Copies of this chain bind each other. A is one copy, B any other.
Amino acid sequence: MNIITISREFGSGGREVGKRLADALGYTYYDREIEEGVAERMKMDTDYVARSIEQGVPMNVPLHFGRTLAGSYLLKQQVDILVEKQRILKELASSTNCVIVGRAADVILADYRPFKIFVYADLAHRLKRCQAYAEIEENLSPRELEREIKKIDARRAQYRRMYLDADWGVRTQYHLCVNTSGIAVKHIIPMLAGYADSWFQHCKAE
């Protein structure tokens, strides 16, 4: 199977790249399906699962809390969710050509030799994009929005460090890093599709 993973700075249009790229290549696009799958199997609420995955296992949970029954239960539950998430990612990756945005899929699916894209943009363009698409809640001042963007990126970096002893967004971990500042995503899709295609054809087996 051909797997494309997309890591991205918040507000850079990574999700749009993922959707359009999947469309262009006729691949399946996986996003919310991953949390939905976990929620279904574990008989939990999807939003709860998504929040738990996004926040990761809290490394700084106070010891006295971790020692309580409730604390241990919560920690174990979070680990179970992550384990289930990895299982689902691997099942999806084994069953169909697909594009997966975020979720440290590039690391978790390393054995499947994914084509790894990192999408980024300068802050001004990310702010503009967030405002245009109301990706975070509306009515935030530009300053508040900037703070929010940085917070989300920091969380993603932290989440990634859980899986890999390396920083997030370091170019050597990706095959292609794409700056979307000032260009509409739709204009770069044909080239990204061609690039991925060529990579799968000539390079994946290496």
Q: What residues make up the interface of A, taking CB atoms closer than 8 Å to B?
A: 118, 120, 122, 169, 171-172, 174-179, 181-184, 187-188, 190-192, 194-195, 198-199, 201-203, 206
- B176 A179 Cβ-Cβ under 8 A: yes
- B183 A191 Cβ-Cβ under 8 A: no
Mostly helix, strand, loop or mixed at chain A's interface?
Answer: mixed
As for how many copies of this chain the complex holds, the number is 2
Question: In the complex the two chains form, what is the Cα distance from A188 to B198 in whole Å?
Answer: 7
Complex partner residue of A198 from B122, B182, B191, CB under 8 angstroms: B191
The 10 closest A-B pairs by CB, nearest first: A177-B177, A191-B195, A183-B203, A191-B194, A187-B202, A191-B191, A187-B198, A175-B179, A182-B206, A171-B177
| List of B residues within 8 angstroms of A191 by Cβ | 191-192, 194-195, 198
| List of B residues within 8 angstroms of A201 by Cβ | 187
Beyond A174-B179, A182-B203, A191-B198, list 13 extra A-B contacts (CB 8 Å): A120-B172, A122-B172, A171-B171, A171-B177, A172-B179, A174-B177, A183-B199, A183-B203, A187-B198, A187-B203, A188-B195, A190-B194, A194-B194
Question: In the complex the two chains form, what is the Cα distance from A198 to B193 in whole Å?
Answer: 14
- A178 B176 Cβ-Cβ under 8 A: yes
| List of B residues within 8 angstroms of A190 by Cβ | 194, 198
Q: How far is the CB of A177 from chain B (nearest CB, A)?
A: 4
- B184 A202 Cβ-Cβ under 8 A: yes
13 residue pairs bridging A and B, Cβ less than 8 Å apart: A120-B171, A171-B177, A171-B179, A174-B179, A175-B181, A176-B179, A183-B202, A183-B203, A187-B198, A187-B199, A191-B192, A191-B194, A191-B195
| List of B residues within 8 angstroms of A182 by Cβ | 203, 206
